[in-house]
Amino acid sequence: MACIGIPYVFTKLEGPGIDEVTPAVLLPLIAALTLAASGGAVCQYGQLGAKLQVPVIILSYLFIGMALPLSVAFDGLFLVRLFDKAFPRQQKVYQLMIVCGPPGQASFALQALGTCVKRGAFASYDTSSFIGPTSASAIGTTSQVLGLLYWGYATFWWAFASIAVLQYTTSSPKALLRLDQSLTAWSLVFPWGVWQTVLALLLVVIWLGNAFATLVGLGTGAIIGLDKGWASHYHTSNAEEEKQQRYRNEDGQGVSDEMQQDNGLAEPTASRGEAGVLRM
C-alpha cells in the first residue's frame, strides 16, 4: 500500500521537475524491500515447511520487483540533481544515507531468499517446472549473485553519503551541536545496520546521540519548527496571514468607497448653491 500509494501522492502534491526528487521518496520503497527481507529471514530461520515457505518466497520476490527497479530509477534522477550542483545543503545532507537503503535491503533479501531456495524449499514443493528441483539451483544461485551485486551498489552510496556527511561536519564543526534542530540525522542509523556485525558499537553510539538530540530538540521546540520556543506566538500559516491581510485591504477599500460617496454627494449640493447665488 505504501509502496504504491505514497509515490502517487508525491506526483500529485510535489512541485514539477526533478528538483523536488529527494531521497525521502525512497522510504516507501524501503518498506516493501524490508518486507521481502523479513520474508527471507522467516523462511531461513523459522521452522516452516515447504508448503509455507514457497508462497512467502514468491511474494518476497514480487515485492522486490515492485520496489527495486523504481528505486534505481529514483537514484538516477537524484544523481542528475547532484551533477547539476543541486547538492543537499546544511543538515539535509544526512538524507544521502537513505539512498543506500533500497539496495542494501534488496541485497539482504535476495541472498536470504536464494539460500532458502537452494536449501530445498522449491525441490520439496515440486509443483511445476519453475517451482521444482530442476530450477532451484539456478534461481538460488542467481538470487545470491544479484544480492552481492546490490550489496556493492549499496556500499557505493554508503561511502558517498559518509564522505558528504564527514565533509559537512569538518567544514562546520558546530553541525554536531545542531542535531536537535532536524530529524534528518536519524537517516544515519538505518544504513549502518547492514554492517551491524562489524559496526554494532558505532550504530549504538549514533542511535543514542540522535535520541538525546531529538529529546533536546523537542524540549526547546526547534526540531518541530518552534525556533523561538514553546511560549512564543506564531502565525498558523502563510495562508492565514494572507487571509487577514485581505480582510484588512477590504476594510480599507470599504472606508475609501464611503469617503468617495460622501464627496460625491457634497459636490452636487455645492453646485446647486452656486447656481442659486448666480440666479440671485
- DSSP assignment letter at 117: I
Instruction: Note whether residue 147 is domain-resident.
Output: yes
Instruction: Note whether residue 143 is domain-resident.
Output: yes
At residue 260 the predicted structure's pLDDT band, cuts being 50, 70 and 90, is low
Give the closest residue to 171 by CA, choosing from 76, 91, 241.
91
CA 135 to chain CA centroid, Å, is: 38
Instruction: Note whether residue 276 is domain-resident.
Output: no
Sign of the dihedral defined by the CA atoms of residues 200, 202, 205, 207, in that order? negative
Domain span at 140: 2-171
Instruction: Note whether residue 216 is domain-resident.
Output: no
Count of structural domains, the chain: 1
Confirm whether pTM is higher than 0.85.
Answer: no
- Cβ atoms of 60 and 48 within 8 Å: the answer is no
Q: What is the pLDDT of residues 125-182, one digit of tens each?
A: 767 767 777 788 888 899 999 999 998 998 898 888 888 888 877 777 666 556 555 6
- Cβ atoms of 96 and 23 within 8 Å: the answer is yes
Instruction: Note whether residue 222 is domain-resident.
Output: no
What's the rounded Cα separation, in Å, for the pair 174 and 169?
7
Instruction: Note whether residue 20 is domain-resident.
Output: yes
In this prediction, residue 271 carries a pLDDT of 43
Instruction: Note whether residue 254 is domain-resident.
Output: no
In this prediction, residue 144 carries a pLDDT of 92
What's the rounded Cα separation, in Å, for the pair 107 and 113?
10
**Identity at 209, one-letter amino acid code:** G
Instruction: Note whether residue 101 is domain-resident.
Output: yes
